[in-house]
Structure 1
Amino acid sequence: MSSRVRRLCAGFGTSFLAFALTANAQPSPADQFGDLFAAVQEGHVFEDGKTFADAVPRRAPDAIMAEYAAKPPTSPTDLRYFVLDNFTVPGVNDKPLPPLREHIRTLWPQLSRDAVTPPPASSAIALPSPYVVPGGRFREIYYWDSYFTMLGLVADGRDDLVEGMIDDFASLIERFGHIPNGTRTYYLSRSQPPFFALMLDLSKQTDGTVRARRLAALRKEHAYWMAGESCARAAKACERVVRMPDGSVLNRYWDDRDTPRDESFAEDRATAKASARPAAEVYRDLRAGAESGWDFSSRWLSDPQDLATIRTTRVVPVDLNALMWAMEKRIEKGCKQAGDQPCTREFFQRAAARKGAIDRYMWQSRQRRFADWLLDESTPGSVQSSATLFPLFVGMASPAQTTAIAATTRRALLGEGGIRTTILRTGQQWDAPNGWAPLQWVALEGLHRGGQDALAKDVAARWLGTVNCTYLETGKMLEKYDVEERRAGGGGEYPLQDGFGWTNGVTAAILERYPALVPGTTLRTCAPTSGSEQ
């Protein structure tokens, strides 16, 4: 009797011994894989116990068990990766997957939509040109998602869709004065992080009339964000404008309505009921949190563990103000090209004043980060988040600030699988351990712009590894990821979505920039390695 059979006999008793010695006996999966089989089944790695029993080993069982004995997986995630790397599991990884970049190219037609004229009484808003949706429950175009989706469309030569989506957004500004959160009537009372100016950087349009129309739309969007400027007073806010203690002007997120969101009606009423504040205040802050795109995050909470303490409208966000600076610089450039000197002077001054205010109130030199500003406390916020990278991304950070933030990124924000959203675990989806495609691009582009090329490439490689590992396991591109365990992300008020527009876009753009980082086709390197992110 072989030593392996004796070991299995010891584990399974004399009944197995009698069976194993029968001349025509065929070993079952439990016989062949002993401790590994027990760990998978008792750990419920797969929902149905029959799934692993029907799996087919990809190499000799003795080789699999030797590796398992030499280096046993230390977590459920490690165990699942080990199994998927060594077995073909029915319904999980039994269908061959195309390479990641090829898969993304097949998704663009699936996520593209023709110009829409909604039926009567529909909540959908009409658009004149074809566009791309994120996927899953997100059936309409979304504002800031679209910029990151466009990055991939440019990389894959779909300039037609890029130009069409820019025209769609210009049309929305012309009709409504701003780009709504998404193209539904229930989103009209708010916008999202203002990326229209950066979308224009992706355009190859040279027609002067079209460019003039888009510049006019950009100026109209700026007027929307600055509509509260005349009513904001010292250290006070009005609509989306905040007057800082020294009289300078910055922006905050705000929603024109103070009722539960249509798309999260029951959830918002439950949150308001759990708060001691007036319900209308809570609803406004929840809506403003949705306008931020970070819905929801400890950035907006006075108690990071309690959504009912949300106070978005009392926070002056660094990322929003960096994007507003980028908008003002592009308006300045566009007006200069058009020969409009008064406009050129106005927006040069606006951008300079905004940068000065951001440096005074948000730059924390000792902590080596940009911070949100808390209106009620008149202090910088304590939550460390990847929003600190937005000034690098738009090009307004100084060389010293860039060097400092690069160090902070390495120390606090860089997880094994990419950039953490914040360093706090709260159960909210825009907190640790989640990482999101747009924030990876903001980080690596900002670091690259600031000359931190090695760190930028490291961020790209880690993120590609996470996306690829999850793709190999699930066959899907996901909305968000756990960048500490390199798996699907969690948290938030709705189930995890796949599709997924901005993940596709950022992944394609990274592969276009760093072609040598094309990920492999094995899960063998997917399991996290403790401490490797530092």
Structure 2
Amino acid sequence: MIRRLRRSLLAAVLCACVAPAAAQQCVAGFPEIYGDLFADAQRALPDAKAMVDAIPAAAPAAIAAEYAQRRDEPGFDLPYFIAQRFELPAQAAGGYRTDPRHDASTHIDRLWRELERPPTDGDARSSLLQLPHPYIVPGGRYGEIYYWDSYFTMLGLVESDRLDLVRGMVANFADMIDRYGHVPNGNRTYYLSRSQPPFFAAMVQLLAAHDGRDVLTDYLPQLAREYAFWMDGADALAPGSAYRRVVRLADGTVLNRYWDDCDTPRDESHVMDVDTAARSTRPPAEVYRNLRAGAESGWDFSSRWLADGRSLHTIRTIEIVPPDLNSLLHRLESTLAEAYALAGDPARAADLRTRTDARAEAIRRLLWDEAAGAFVDLLWREGRPSGQLTLATVYPLYFGIADPPQAARVAATVRAQLLQRHGLATSTVRSGEQWDMPNGWAPLQWLAIGGFEGYGEQALANDIAHRWIRRNLEVFRAERKLVEKYDVTGDAAAGGGEYPLQDGFGWTNGVLRALMARYPDVAGAR
């Protein structure tokens, strides 16, 4: 009986939810599986994401049919109905309480155990994708691995002497590249149509720094396949056009943008996306594509993607060539060049070095805004910079792409416009979106500190690190926890976006643990 139930759930859920390895094809998602129940449940639950992470107790078609039959009955209780027919997700590390005697480093070292998940075999009833090795989840509502989060988590795992987890997580991402052709946003079926900022090469380099350069050749096939994913269609692209994640500018320069292979509402945010599209005069599919591409960026959401700088329904992510993404692809190209050289393939190594140099030159030339004194997003159809200052400007410094005068200008601009009481703000705009003023995020602090250190701006790097560490420790000492993001302008809790502030939290833990090792004088201060 149990086997028959599992087979029926496999047919009803996974065949409908799991995208094929070639991510270009979009298939039926949760709204098609559950009908009216899906949107109604997302509105009834405290967190819309819970519905796509829930595990049904029976065939989804049967649950949907029962709901359609019973929902108009007097006194029908939808939350009770959901609780009886689904196993709802638990909050990751939600019940963890730190020992009041522990300092922040010990807290983080012990919290990894709460955020660690064993290998997942894949459950026919679940949206969770199989992973062969243990991994770290961020915490809070996020009970799955996330792509770009994991690089910053790994920084802390190294300091916590958990290289075993770093090795396993890198191997997990390689496994997903082998299976799906790219690293999905996270290991959920509903994330398969998009990726996230491509930090896999940076992860491989991080691991190679500890395990030796052979790591680069070990992961060469996956590095090459991820590069093919991001560059798909580049060779046949005409000037002034784009295909998927590649843009060929009018002068023939090839750069990249964020994208998603689907143009429907995100399953995890279905009701919110439908409401956003309803406020726009554009075709809904256009709005959905841009919302999904914004989710691929990791900055979901920010005024940098919004045509009017304020309203989510004006989102235009696919019209933008961003400095952060192109800096990451520069790192991927340079890592591939090194890996091919180590593997004894000088021709491919030379080709990748040529591509690396061309991208670096294009970033310095086309994504630099002299008036702003910063690297900014390029509106590629219009051929002009967006003019908006965000912390994406530090990526070309972190990856060593900026020339020294540009780095000096970025340092002055960041100090004057983004440096706040508790660290760096994400942008200068207060839009109500979470990737904007007044919020500060751990990964961007790390990238800024590392970028300024690399160009000799040590005083600014020190200042940012001291402000950020102190704020993290103030909150920890007062509340005995670390959180996803912080209001860097004052003492209020961070906010904005689609969901409440989350406890945990993977990349905050990782960056703080790494920074405290680098700045022990601040970590020990009271």
TM-score computed with the length of structure 2 as normaliser:
0.79
Change (3 A) 1:519 1:339: same
Structure 1 residues 300-311: aligned runs within 5 Å: 300-311=305-316
User: Within 5 Å, which residues of 2 pair with 1:103-502?
Assistant: 103-203=107-207, 204-206=210-212, 208=214, 211-502=216-507
Q: Match for residue 87 of structure 1? A: none
Report SS of the residue matched to 2:124.
Answer: coil
Amino acid in structure 2 at the alignment position of 1:134: P
1:78 maps to: none
- Measured against aligned partners, the alpha-carbon deviations of 1:296-354 in whole angstroms (never above 9, x if no partner) come to 00010001110000000001011000111011011111111111012111101111111
Change (3 A) 1:207 1:517: closer
The aligned residue for residue 88 of structure 1 is none
C-alpha offsets along residues 419-454 of structure 1, whole Å, 9 cap, x if unaligned?
110000000000000000000000000011111111
Structure 1 distance, partners of 2:297, 2:459, is: 30
Question: Contact (CA 8 Å) 2:204, 2:216: kept in 1 or not?
Answer: no
Name 2:86's counterpart in structure 1. none
Distance 1:352 1:498 in 2: 41
Q: Is the 8 A contact 1:435 1:482 kept in 2?
A: yes
Letter in 1 for 2:211: Q
Whether the 8 Å contact between 2:430 and 2:436 is mirrored in structure 1 is: yes
Partner of 2:31: none
Q: Matched residues in 2 for 1:211 and 1:321: separation?
A: 21
| Aligned ranges 1:56-71 → 2 under 5 Å | none
Contact 1:328 1:351 (8 Å CA) reproduced = yes
Q: 2:142 & 2:281 partners in 1: Cα distance?
A: 32
SS in 1 for 2:255: strand
1:218/1:331 contact within 8 Å kept:
yes
Contact kept in structure 2, 1:417 and 1:486, CA below 8 Å: no
Q: Is contact 1:465-1:519 (8 Å) kept?
A: no
Amino acid corresponding to residue 185 of structure 1 in structure 2: T
- The reply on whether 1:511 has 2:516 as its aligned counterpart is yes
How large is the Cα RMSD of the aligned pairs?
A: 1.6
Do 1:271 and 1:308's aligned partners in 2 also have CA atoms closer than 8 Å?
yes
Partners of 2:115 and 2:180 lie apart in 1 by 25
Structure 1 residue matching 2:247: 3-state secondary structure: strand
Consecutive unaligned residues of structure 1, counting only runs of 5 or more, are: 1-92, 522-534
CA contact (8 A) 1:154 1:202 kept: no
Deviation at 1:207, TM superposition (A): 8.6
Segment of structure 1 superposing worse, 230-239 or 438-447:
230-239
Letter in 2 for 1:433: P
1:103 is matched by which residue type in structure 2?
H
Q: State the Cα distance separating 1:517 from its structure 2 match.
A: 1.2
Does the residue aligned with 1:202 lie in a helix, a strand or coil? helix
Q: How many residues align?
A: 428
**Which residue identity is paired with 1:270?**
D
Q: SS in structure 2 opposite 1:141? A: coil
Matching residue of 1:15:
none
Query: Which entry has the higher C-alpha Rg, 1 or 2?
Result: 1
TM-aligned CA deviation for residue 228 of structure 1:
2.4
Displacement of 1:97 after TM fit? 5.3
Equivalent AA in structure 1 for residue 107 of structure 2: H
Identity of aligned residues (%): 51
**Whole-angstrom CA distance in 2 between matches of 1:232 and 1:498:** 44
CA 1:245–1:94 in structure 2 vs 1: closer, same or farther (change >3 Å)?
Answer: closer
* Aligned residues of 1:253 and 1:289 also touching (Cα < 8 A): yes
Q: For the Cα contact (< 8 Å) 1:116–1:128, is it kept in 2?
A: yes
Residue equivalent to 1:98: 102
- For 1:467 and 1:192, how far apart are their aligned partners in 2? 26
Moved more, 363-372 or 459-468: 363-372
Post-superposition Cα deviations, 1:260-312, rounded to whole Å, max 9, x if no partner, equal 00100000000011110000010000000000000000010001110000000
- Amino acid across the alignment from 1:306: S
CA apart distance, 1:459 = 0.5
Change beyond 3 A, Cα 1:376–1:298: same
Instruction: Show CA shifts across 1:150-170 (max 9, x none).
Output: 000001111000000000000
Q: Which residue identity is paired with 2:328?
A: L
Q: Is the Cα–Cα contact under 8 Å of residues 180 and 187 in structure 1 kept in the other structure?
A: yes
Residues 121-143 of structure 1: per-residue CA shift (max 9 Å, x gap): 31111001101000011100000
Cα drift, residue 96 of structure 1: 3.5
What does residue 44 of structure 2 align with?
Answer: none
| Greater displacement, 353-362 / 150-159 | 353-362
- Are the aligned partners of 1:235 and 1:242 in contact in 2 as well (CA < 8 Å)? yes
Q: What is the deviation of 1:95?
A: 8.4
Distance 1:320 1:183 in 2: 21
Structural mapping, 1:14-25, within 5 Å: none
SS in 2 for 1:488: coil
Q: Cα gap change, 1:97/1:496 in structure 2, threshold over 3 Å: closer, same or farther?
A: farther
Distance in 2, Cα, partners of 1:148 & 1:393: 14
Q: For 1:188 and 1:486, how far apart are their aligned partners in 2?
A: 38
| Aligned AA (2:480) | G
Secondary structure of the structure 1 residue equivalent to 2:427: coil
Deviations 1:449-489 (A, max 9, x none): 11111111111010011111222222211001100014421
Once residues 214 and 487 of structure 1 are traced to their aligned partners in structure 2, the CA distance between those partners, rounded to angstroms, is 44
Contact kept in structure 1, 2:258 and 2:296, CA below 8 Å: yes
Q: Which runs of 5+ in 2 are unaligned?
A: 1-96
CA distance in 1, matches of 2:187, 2:353: 32
> In the alignment, what sits opposite 2:10?
none
SS at match of 2:219: helix
Cα distance change on mapping 1:298 and 1:94 into 2, 3 Å: closer
Q: What do residues 101-150 of structure 1 show as CA deviations (whole Å, max 9, x unaligned)? A: 12111111010011111211311110011010000111000000000000
